[in-house]
């Protein structure tokens, strides 16, 4: 497996960072220094118990050594190569490329991901009649009114002798319909125009909000420390151009802030280090509701969480309100989200936590552990139904391959 050829290099790198001598690491792992030397120079394959022992001494997860921090990066590079369509000669040396030129690899991978996002947006926008319900409704209104006017007008124009009663009735209808047409066509123009008072509109608001969160790595230390408000953050963000994007970003940040107050970073960090990643235990420790815990875990920096994580929040209609993608897990922004996602099951059963293992076909063979729960976002009353939202935390599974 080409992917594993750098395991030794990663062990060496990690050892040097920690300032441990080769002989010392070898002794702690119960092997000879010369054998460790061979391993470190990728001349011996390593797996099983020895890998686990070395990882423990080095204080990392075994998969960090076998796949490296660049696992996600390599996956993205492979995806880029596959999507480019042209045969790529050096596919077998992808990990070497990522290892030697991590900066360039990152540029390539992030550009590819951005292209994929934009492609999806373009596809959606070019099929707006299907994906923009408001546009479809406006057009339907215009065409229906047009049909009514056309029929009525030609009856008035073409019917030779029309009884006064009918004539008056059709005149009245014509008047009503032309008024409706004026209003619905104005609504249509407004929708297509969407001339926000605020400058140019680059893309869809969700895209802008997503760029904003991505630029911050989904982590806002100043917000957690109370040094800045969501409002100020949003106003200072160059990515947020349209008003709609600002509203989306601000409400997400307000949620983030209140979650962070309930579960402060340093305490969460200690708890995860001491007891591992256990959402139920965290909920008890912080007396926090499960949705708060999942949302909080989803936006923790990888070094605190100990791994990568994706997060999705959606409303009862299944529209995605917040998404933090994770490598290998397709998270479409529009429409075609796979309904099998536990998040949709969770919506059917509010307050019932769900844990499911998800494997996406045609993608990496790695599975994902998905934790989902729906909560009552707006309580019901005698006049209105309760409004539910649901959250899903996506944790890539990190099993060490048997043959590693």
Partner 1 sequence: MSRHVVLIEDEPNIAEAIRFLLSRDGWKVDVHGNGSDAVEVIQAAKPDLVILDLMLPGKSGLEVIQELRAVHDLQALPVLMLAARGQLRDREMAEKAGVTRFMTKPFSNSEVLTAVRDLHAQAYQADQIAPGSVVPGSATP
- Binding residues (CB under 8 A) for partner 1: these are 129, 136, 139-140, 143-144, 146-152, 154-155, 158-159, 163, 165-166, 169-170, 173, 176-177
304 close to 265: Cβ distance less than 8 angstroms? yes
Contact 188, 139 (CB under 8 A): yes
373 neighbors 351 (Cβ within 8 angstroms): yes
Q: Which residues in 57-184 belong to E strands, given as ranges?
A: none
Residues 358/367, Cβ–Cβ less than 8 Å: yes
Q: Cβ of residue 315: shortest distance to partner 1, in angstroms? A: 24
C-beta closer to partner 1: residue 176 or 269: 176
Q: Which is nearer to partner 1, 160 or 238 (CB)?
A: 160
**Residue 263 — φ and ψ, nearest 5°?**
-130, 80
CB of 152 to partner 1, least distance (A): 5
CA distance 330 to 328: 6
Nearest distance in Å: CB 183, partner 1: 15
**Token pair listed for 397:** 């599974």
Nearest distance from residue 80's CB to partner 1, in Å?
Answer: 33
In angstroms, the CA 201 to CA 194 distance is 9
Task: Tell me the three state secondary structure of residue 42.
Answer: coil
Q: Which two tokens stand for residue 356?
A: 């499911």
Residue closer to partner 1 (CB basis): 90 or 158: 158
Q: How far is the CB of 136 from partner 1 (least distance, A)?
A: 7
Instruction: Determine the 3-state secondary structure of 364 from DSSP.
Output: coil
Q: Which is nearer to partner 1, 150 or 397 (CB)?
A: 150
Strand-pair partners of 19: none
Sheet with 320-324, side-by-side order of all strands: 320-324, 310-315, 387-396, 368-378, 354-358
Which lies closer to partner 1 via its Cβ, residue 111 or residue 130? 130
If the CB atoms of residues 20 and 148 are measured against partner 1, the closer one turns out to be 148
149/289 with CB nearer partner 1: 149
Residue 155 Cβ, how far from partner 1 at the closest point, in Å?
Answer: 6
CB of 319 to partner 1, least distance (A): 22
């Amino acid at each position: 497996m080409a992917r594993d050829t750098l395991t030794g290099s990663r062990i060496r790198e990690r050892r040097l960072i920690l300032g441990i001598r080769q002989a010392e690491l070898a002794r702690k792992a119960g092997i000879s220094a010369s054998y460790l030397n061979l391993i470190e120079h990728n001349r011996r394959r390593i797996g099983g118990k020895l890998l686990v022992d070395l990882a423990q001494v080095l204080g990392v997860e075994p998969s960090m050594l076998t796949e490296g921090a660049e696992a996600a990066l390599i996956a993205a590079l492979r995806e880029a190569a596959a999507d480019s369509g042209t045969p790529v000669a050096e596919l077998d040396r992808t990990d070497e490329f990522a290892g030697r030129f991590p900066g360039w690899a990152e540029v390539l991978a992030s550009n590819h991901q951005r292209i994929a996002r934009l492609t999806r947006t373009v596809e959606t926008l070019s099929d707006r009649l299907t994906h923009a319900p408001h546009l479809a409704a406006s057009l339907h209104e215009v065409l229906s009114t047009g049909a009514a006017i056309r029929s009525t007008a030609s009856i008035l124009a073409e019917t030779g002798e029309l009884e006064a009663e009918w004539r008056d009735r059709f005149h009245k209808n014509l008047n009503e319909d032309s008024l409706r047409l004026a209003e619905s066509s104005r609504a249509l123009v407004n929708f297509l125009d969407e001339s926000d008072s605020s400058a140019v509109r680059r893309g869809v608001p969700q895209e802008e909000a997503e760029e904003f969160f991505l630029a911050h790595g989904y982590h806002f230390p100043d917000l957690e420390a109370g040094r800045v408000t969501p409002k100020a953050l949003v106003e200072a963000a160059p990515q947020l151009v349209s008003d709609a994007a600002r509203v989306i970003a601000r409400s997400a940040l307000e949620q983030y802030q209140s979650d962070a107050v309930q579960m402060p970073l340093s305490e969460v960090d200690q708890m995860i280090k001491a007891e591992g990643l256990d959402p139920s235990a965290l909920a008890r420790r912080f007396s926090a509701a499960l949705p708060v815990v999942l949302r909080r875990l989803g936006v923790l920096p990888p070094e605190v969480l100990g791994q990568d994580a994706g997060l999705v929040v959606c409303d009862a209609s299944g529209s995605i309100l917040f998404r933090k993608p994770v490598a290998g897990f397709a998270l479409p922004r529009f429409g075609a989200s796979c309904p099998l996602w536990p998040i949709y099951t969770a919506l059917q059963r509010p307050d019932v936590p769900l844990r499911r293992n998800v494997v996406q076909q045609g993608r990496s063979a790695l599975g994902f552990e998905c934790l989902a729960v729906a909560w009552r976002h707006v309580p019901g009353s005698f006049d209105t139904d309760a409004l539910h939202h649901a959250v899903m935390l996506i944790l890539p599974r990190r099993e060490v391959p048997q043959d590693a």
